[in-house]
A and B are shown apart, each in its own frame.
Chain A
């Protein structure tokens, strides 16, 4: 795509296929010879890890679906049937349940990596937007999957989240209520709700897989960003994807698998909630309804707003704002490593997300609520104020002359290094 093809079919059958449906050429050019910046650090390995997680979730999920029964009377028991009577069922289920957490962990690291290194900036805006779309689909998929267990927390999470749509009653009276009943397929969360959640939970991963293909396509047009944020300038700045990054991604994937397996085998229920081992009971509300850990920051944002409609709007806004990041950031350099002021705001944002996660697990009262509002404010100010303003006023540090130079040090013969950050406005007379 972005680079000229170097594939040369050697055998007769390869030539035959290449003239008809050149899949081998595509695979060779995009996944073996693909020129990749030579300086990618380990934070770049999470793309491969995420692909693995998607495949793992689909593979375990397809087998679980063979044994799961999506009716209110049988759902909980069928999950226990998988745990007790299906061969390796416990492994499938724990891998799938813990896998959701691992998927989000990797997705969040991947997203923060993109934010830190400015991977959303031109020419990678569409790549970023597709990524945010995948995150959004993941959130929907994970929520629906969690509901299928049909324990107390599943049931009440569905009740709370679907009820968010009733806030539209404040816009057009009756609209929200009608919408919620349409989603439920009745007047309360019940059998019809469960079966549609199940159907969509099976559908969405394949939609995600489709968007992932577009995401990778959009990556392979401009090629990878890199820790310096500067463009590839010569062939020496890149290495072929294989073997350099297949082996590096593979090593990181094995390390990630150790963490994953640690949870699956030694703490499979640590990330879950005990209440979800109580069968769903529509007549009894749990003391606290809390989502899975990966939704806690969003939950804190929802509860920070006293008005229901605005709370829901803010919740949606927390994701939607990500779509606009490529245009909110006015910086002339990509990588935060060369942004002395923005760096502080960025790490404050990371801390904000972690604190919001903690606050989401606490009851919304007293100091938790006050802190929730402060950190929610910063969450949005970071995007809407810090990104445009700091990018405008900040003077970036000098960038290395090339990617190769950033790895191997300045070259003696090169007069271009180090180079000042590119100017965004009309160039002033050189000093």
Chain B
């Protein structure tokens, strides 16, 4: 019994680490990554307060819908999202477009299908079950259209960079004039968070470039925030289900733990009673 407090302490310390340290750990990882770059260390970025943060976090439907609009109108001109299907846009825990909206969004896109019974490929409007159409037929075509740079697929981008959506937001809002003395390679842009500060992607977002219809102000910061949230959903579409189910599991386990503790104490009390009798 005397060891129980220390044991509980160890496990609760583990829990604290689980819940409290992810952000600092992520930042430490960023620092480690950035420190290794042969450039200055000033490329840090802030954590944003996202609706999906924390153990009870959930996505903001309207934000995801706006974010999809930003992706569709701007990002999708160069960046694929080959792991997503149009049907995902209507699934629960995501932007939750209505089935009619999903049909319309899909049918606005022409995809290649086939071969038909003549052995020919043909174009048809996309169906909800189709994957998002990629802007380029292959990587070589994508490079050819972008001065040799390959726009990465965005399906899991929010999990593929330290900092995730915070990094994406900081990148999209991080374009600046290069400081004096900084030698920018031809065709490159200066960005305060991109490793090495030179990024081939031109600043994609400007105030007013996407028409918001829900009254949200059409600013660069709002676009960047919305599309970062959208990419987080795209990378982690089961996040809400995970948080919800997690709460159930935690409540169950903690209640089970209390019962087990009481059962353990009562069983061992039996022994102590007997032992003190005989001792």
Using a CB–CB cutoff of 8 Å, the interface residues on chain A facing chain B are 38, 41-43, 77, 80, 83-84, 90-91, 94, 236, 239, 243-244, 247-248, 250-252, 254-259, 261-270, 274-275, 277-278, 287-288, 361-363, 404, 407-408, 411
Most chain B beta-carbon neighbours within 10 Å: one of A90, A239, A251, A263: A251
25 A-B contacts, Cβ less than 8 Å apart? A80-B83, A83-B238, A91-B242, A94-B242, A236-B275, A243-B267, A244-B271, A251-B261, A251-B263, A259-B15, A264-B246, A265-B55, A265-B243, A265-B245, A265-B249, A266-B18, A266-B246, A267-B18, A270-B22, A274-B161, A277-B159, A277-B160, A278-B160, A408-B275, A408-B279
B188 contacts the other chain (Cβ, under 8 Å)? no
Whether, in the assembled complex, B11 has its beta carbon less than 8 Å from a beta carbon of chain A, the answer is yes
B257 at the interface (CB under 8 A from A): yes
The answer to whether B267 and A274 have CB atoms under 8 Å apart is no
Closest to B249 in A: A261
Shortest Cβ gap from B232 to chain A (Å): 12
State whether A259 and B14 are in contact (beta carbons under 8 Å apart), knowing that A80-B156, A247-B263, A254-B257 are contacts in the complex.
yes
Report A98 CB to chain B, min CB distance, Å. Answer: 10
Task: Say which one of B1-9, B95-103, B117-125 lies at the interface with A.
Answer: B1-9
Q: Are B261 and A277 in contact (CB under 8 A)?
A: no
B25 / chain A contacts, CB cutoff of 8 Å: 270
Q: Are B156 and A254 in contact (CB under 8 A)?
A: no
Pairwise interchain contact A274-B271, C-beta atoms closer than 8 A:
no
Q: From A240, which residue of chain B is reached at the shortest CB distance?
A: B271
Since A91-B242, A239-B271, A287-B195 are in contact, a sample of 11 more A-B pairs with Cβ atoms closer than 8 Å, ordered by chain A residue number, is A80-B156, A84-B83, A90-B242, A244-B268, A256-B11, A264-B246, A266-B243, A270-B25, A277-B235, A363-B36, A411-B279
Query: Within the assembled complex, what's the spacing in Å between the Cα atoms of A250 and B264?
Result: 9
Interface residues of A: mostly helix, strand, loop or mixed? helix
Q: What distance in Å separates the Cβ of B166 from its nearest Cβ neighbour in chain A?
A: 12
Residue of A nearest to B2 (CB): A41
A255 adjacent to B257 (CB under 8 Å) = yes
Residues of B within 8 A of A411 (CB): 279
Interface string of B108-138 (1 = CB under 8 A from A): 0000000000000000000000000000000
**A244: which B residues are within 8 A, CB to CB?**
267-268, 271
Interface SS of chain B: helix, strand, loop or mixed? helix
Q: Shortest Cβ distance from A175 into chain B, in angstroms?
A: 34
CA gap between A275 and B159 in the complex, in Å: 8
Q: Which residues of B contact A (CB under 8 A)?
A: 3-4, 7-8, 11, 14-15, 18-19, 22, 25-26, 29, 32-33, 35-37, 55, 83, 88, 152, 155-156, 159-162, 164, 195, 235, 237-238, 241-243, 245-247, 249-250, 253-254, 256-257, 260-261, 263-264, 267-268, 271, 275-276, 278-279
Task: Report yes or no: A254 in contact with B256, Cβ–Cβ below 8 A.
Answer: yes
**Chain B hits for A408, CB < 8 A:** 275-276, 279
Once the chains bind, are B156 and A277 in contact (CB under 8 Å)? yes
A residues near B159, Cβ cutoff 8 Å: 269, 274, 277
Given A243-B267, A408-B276, A255 contacting B18 (CB threshold 8 A)? no
A267 surroundings in chain B (CB, below 8 A) = 18-19, 22
Q: Tell me how far the C-beta of B137 lies from the nearest C-beta in chain A, rounded to whole angstroms.
A: 17
CB contacts (< 8 Å) of B268 on chain A: these are: 244, 247-248
Residues of B within 8 A of A277 (CB): 156, 159-160, 235
User: Could you tell me the distance between the alpha carbons of A58 and B278 in the complex, rounded to whole angstroms?
Assistant: 46
Cβ contacts under 8 Å, B263 to chain A: 247, 251
Contact present for B55 and A288 (CB under 8 Å): no
Interface centre among B19, B156, B247 (most CB of A within 10 A): B156
State which of B195, B242, B257, B279 has its C-beta within 8 Å of the C-beta of A265.
B242
Name B91's closest neighbour in chain A (CB-CB): A84
- Give complex CA distance A252, B263 in Å: 12
Shortest CB-to-CB span from A337 to chain B, Å, is: 12
**By the criterion CB–CB under 8 Å, are A80 and B260 in contact?**
no
Interchain nearest-CB distance for A255 vs B (Å): 5
The answer to whether A247 and B264 touch across the interface, beta carbons within 8 angstroms, is yes
Cα distance A352–B22 when bound, in Å? 24
Bound together, the chains give a CA A262 to CA B15 distance in angstroms of: 7
Residues of A within 8 A of B8 (CB): 255
Minimum distance in angstroms from A72 CB to a CB of chain B: 15
B245 near A42 with CB under 8 A, answer: no
* B32 with A361: CB separation less than 8 A: yes
Closest to A365 in B: B36
CA distance A91 to B241 in the complex (A): 10
Q: A263–B245 contact, CB under 8 A?
A: no
A-chain residues with CB within 8 Å of residue B249 when the two chains form the complex: 261, 265
Task: Tell me how far the C-beta of B170 lies from the nearest C-beta in chain A, rounded to whole angstroms.
Answer: 15
Partner of A258, one of B11, B83, B164: B11
Chain A to chain B: the 3 pairs with minimum beta-carbon distance, closest first: A265-B246, A277-B160, A42-B7
